[in-house]
Amino acid sequence: MPCLYSAQNRIALLTLDGPPVNSLGLAMRESLMAGLQRAFADPAVDALVLTGANGLFTGGADITEFGKPAGMQAPNLHEIVAAIEASPKPVVAAINGTCMGGGTEVSLGCHYRVAAADAMIGLPEVKLGLLPGGGGTQRLPRAGGVELALKMILGGEPVKAAVLEEAGVLDAVFADAGFVEAACAFAREVVKAGVAAGAPHPRVRDMKIKMADPAPVFAAARADAARKFARFPAPQKCIDAIEAAVTLDIDAGLKREFELFMDLMRTPESAAQRHAFFAERAAGKVNGLPKDTRPRAVNSVAVIGAGTMGGGIALNFLNAGFAVTLVETTQAALERGVANIRKVIEGAVAKGTLTAEKAQARAALLKPTLDFAAIASSDLIIEAVFEEMSVKQSVFEKLDTHAKPGAILASNTSTLDLNRIAQFTQRPQDVIGLHFFSPAHVMKLLEVVRGAATANDVLATAMAIAKKIRKTAVVSGVCDGFIGNRMIEQYARQAMFLLEEGASVEAIDGAVEAFGMAMGPFRMGDLAGNDIGWAIRKRKRAEDPSLVVSRIPDLLCEAGRFGQKTGAGWYDYKPGDRAAHPSPWVAEMLATHRKASGVPQRAIDADEIVDRLILALVNEGAQLLDEGIAQRASDIDMVYLTGYGFPLWRGGPMFHAQQTGLGKVVERMRTFAANPLADSTFWTPAPLLERLAREGKTFDAA
């Protein structure tokens, strides 16, 4: 049974034991209820202690059951909590490790709550577009106050046990060692005190909320949520539910909470957030990788190149406690790189997110050098040099000479052929792509590129390392641009064709930003550097002279307008100001080019702009799935949610297409193909997309 039962010295110990996170799915709830009833009925039991196995209390409800009959099937969380509250014997929640969501709500139904010193307790439902539906919005304000409830429920982040003890939510905090024994001893003391006092055991549902004037508190919370989470309905509904705890009795409040929960379950935003939750977990599973594959040991890392990308990559590993050897070719470049790394670390201290002691320890892990031979003892070596094949060749030939046997040789290339790079060594099985996104120490995405010869244990090591440096790793096969950049190229191409046909830079950026993208294609180009795309276009045209591309971005780059770093790109920039200002020069350049090209001009509405750009992503994504470059559609969504600013509330480009309907997507693409100026070959639906649309299926069936 997933809930273990034992009784000793008149205490029944119920232990949630359902690896990996002791989730409160139907089987666990049935087992827990059976354990509760057994303890209630046993005259040899005076009190119950509820705790968790596997180093944690519980990760909360099993969200795979959300929207399915099992989710509400008896005994549901409300019935579990009601049974505990009605118990004639005291029930103590002994919270160890992590306690989330439904687990926190069950603990609030217990008569007493104790926690291990390292316990982290939270209600993260808002991150799934939901609110706590097991009584959390009603009991937490009663136990710890409205302000604490608003902070925990709207933030969705777990808090330390000490914080909740101070707020009165927890009755005691014990040392981690011997925690369960301490909780059982606490239960025995409760029994003694209860017998002596002859009073009923305390219930959170009976506590009163004391607020002189709650209106300003809730008004401020609503204004703050509207500013931070404008596109998400869940935060406002959370506030509504917490306010119900103040204005209604507990039973009416619980009813209101359930109504609001069900309302949110039906929203597209919650569907998108739940999709992203599962997609992130699915991304860590590698198709074709034997389960018994053991990662290689990685204790030290070397980074070749101390520029913006190399420095950011080094920071990831320093922050995770790895010793990092940073290699450059000139003293000036090395000093700049080290200075930038130290500036970030010192900035964290200034913000209060890092102690001076920890900052000093991290800085001490960095070993800057001009000596390539210093990488000899490194377990993982990451190349982060200029994106040009001859430069990569030079570096990997040196790696082959200096790296120890078994060292993993990784390239940070964003577009180049990893299989060709691997052939520059005598050990292609040790070569893998680790494509970080800039700024590398901030962006969550890590594309892990599996070469034709990459060994299984190298891939397994890369995925394990990604977790240690807190990245969301997505596996890609080898192709030009891998998943993210191959798709964004088509997105950018459509943006250029829209310029050719009469749309303005500002209109295109404005349309997709209104759709929810963090940045439009032109603001993004100015931030990344327009010269990067220029170099890629030159290479691609040399490889395929038949490629249909617009001349407009080349005209921009030929004028030296590379973006923010030059103070001019698609927009104009002022010194010390990153704000994008419409550029008269760009407007004149576009007018001159359009006149010379003879392309008929027309008004293009925002809907067409958005559909052409977003469906360009979708079609190329479907092609990547068809080719086996991407493992699953949800992986593509994770790439765009974590690396390219796609709106979370839309769930990613592939999920958005599914919500729209693949049949409608194909129909819309065919209208674009009919445009006499369109690249009709591109607007031919990918075979997979066309087949799924015809069969009425989704990408999940691919």
Cβ–Cβ contacts within 10 Å for residue 513, how many? 15
For the chain, the residue count is: 702
- Could you tell me the pLDDT band of residue 665, with boundaries at 50, 70 and 90? very high
Inside any domain, residue 295: no
* Domain membership of residue 696 as a residue range: 484-701
pLDDT-derived band at 67 (thresholds 50, 70, 90) equals confident
What is the average pLDDT across 120-125?
A: 98
For the chain, give the mean pLDDT. Answer: 95
Is residue 147 part of the annotated active site? The answer reads no
Confidence band, pLDDT 50/70/90 cuts, at residue 273: very high
pLDDT 10s digits, 529-541: 999 888 888 888 8
Convert the pLDDT of each residue in 567-583 to its tens digit: 999 999 998 888 999 99
Percent of the chain past pLDDT 70, that is, above it, reads 99
Q: What is the mean pLDDT of residues 215-233?
A: 96
Options 65, 85, 125, 383, the catalytic residue: 125
Q: For the chain, how are helix, strand and coil distributed in percent, rounded to 5? A: 55, 15, 35
- Structure-token match 């002791």, residue found: 22
Q: Are residues 469 and 521 in the same domain?
A: no
The pLDDT of residue 419: 98
Q: Mean pLDDT over residues 584-594, rounded?
A: 96
Q: Which pTM value belongs to this model?
A: 0.94
Identify whether 202 is preceded by a cis peptide bond (ω within 30 of 0). no
Same domain, yes or no: 114 and 189: yes
What Rg, from alpha-carbon coordinates, does the chain have?
29
Q: Which of 65, 85, 105, 447 is catalytic?
A: 105
467 shares its domain with 489: no
| Range 581-608 burial, b when 16+ CB lie within 10 A, else e | eebeebeebbeebbeeeeeeeeebeeeb
In a domain, 284, yes or no: no
Do the domain assignments include residue 203?
yes
Q: What local confidence, expressed as pLDDT, does residue 702 receive?
A: 74
pLDDT at 680 over 70: no
291 inside domain: no
> Which helix (H) or strand (E) segment is 222 a member of?
helix 215-228
Q: Single out the residue in 246, 265, 284 at which a domain terminates.
A: 265
Q: State pLDDT tens for residues 26-58.
A: 999 999 999 999 999 999 999 999 999 999 999
- 431 contacts 423 by C-beta, under 8 angstroms: no
281 found inside a domain: no
Residues 563, 670: one domain? yes
Q: Which of 304-318, 558-572, 576-590, 665-679 has the lowest mean pLDDT?
A: 665-679
Residues in CB range of 305: below 8 A, 6 or more apart: 327, 328, 383, 384, 385
125 is catalytic: yes
User: Cα(438)–Cα(484) distance, rounded to whole angstroms?
Assistant: 13
Which of these, 244, 219, 18, lies nearest to 135 by C-alpha position?
A: 244
Calpha distance 411→421 (Å, rounded): 8
Nearest residue to 441 (alpha-carbon basis) of 298, 361, 327, 343: 343
In contact, 307 and 334? CB cutoff 8 Å: no
Q: What confidence category does residue 253 fall into, taking pLDDT thresholds of 50, 70 and 90?
A: very high
Last residue of one domain, picked from the residues 453, 476, 499: 476
pLDDT tens figures, 174-204: 998 999 999 999 999 999 887 655 568 899 9
Mean pLDDT over residues 593-612, rounded? Answer: 93
Give me the mean pLDDT over the 248-257 stretch: 97
Q: Are residues 463 and 493 in the same domain?
A: no
Q: What is the pLDDT of residue 685?
A: 95
d(CA 271, CA 267): 7
CATH number at residue 310: 3.40.50.720
Domain count for the chain: 3
Residue 661, domain CATH: 1.10.1040.50
Q: Is the peptide bond before 2 cis (omega within 30 degrees of 0)?
A: no
Of 65-74, 96-105, 323-332, least confident by mean pLDDT is 65-74
What are the residues whose beta carbons fall under 8 Å from the beta carbon of 173, sequence distance 6 or more? Answer: 114, 115, 116, 117, 119, 161, 162, 165
Query: CA-CA distances (angstroms) from residue 607 to 388, 427, 599, 666?
Result: 38, 50, 21, 16
- Is residue 456 domain-shared with residue 488, that is, in the same domain? no
* Domain identity same for 260 and 323: no
Within a domain: 290: no
CATH assignment at residue 213:
3.90.226.10
pLDDT in tens, 411-453: 999 999 999 999 999 999 999 999 999 899 999 999 999 999 9
- pLDDT for the residue numbered 195: 60
Mean predicted confidence (pLDDT) in 14-33: 96
User: What burial class does residue 149 get, using C-beta atoms within 10 Å of its C-beta: 0-12 exposed, 13-18 middle, 19+ buried?
Assistant: buried
Of the candidates 275, 241, 284, 236, which has an alpha carbon nearest to the alpha carbon of residue 649?
275
pLDDT tier, 635 (very low <50, low <70, confident <90, very high otherwise): very high
What is the four-CA torsion angle of 626, 631, 633, 634, rounded to 10 degrees?
A: 180
pLDDT digits (tens, 9 = 90+) for 84-110: 999 999 999 999 999 999 999 999 999
Look at residues 476, 508, 535 and tell me which one is the last residue of a structural domain.
Answer: 476
Any alpha helices (H) in 352-414, and if so which ranges? 356-364, 389-402
Residue 384 Cα distances to 304, 315, 528, 635, 681, angstroms: 6, 13, 16, 24, 35
Q: Residue 271: pLDDT above 80?
A: yes
* 514 in the same domain as 458: no
Return d(Cα 483, Cα 445) in angstroms, integer: 12
Measuring CA to CA, how many Å separate 376 from each of 301, 401, 423?
10, 9, 20
**224 and 333 both lie in a single domain:** no
Specify whether the CB–CB gap between 498 and 492 falls below 8 A.
no
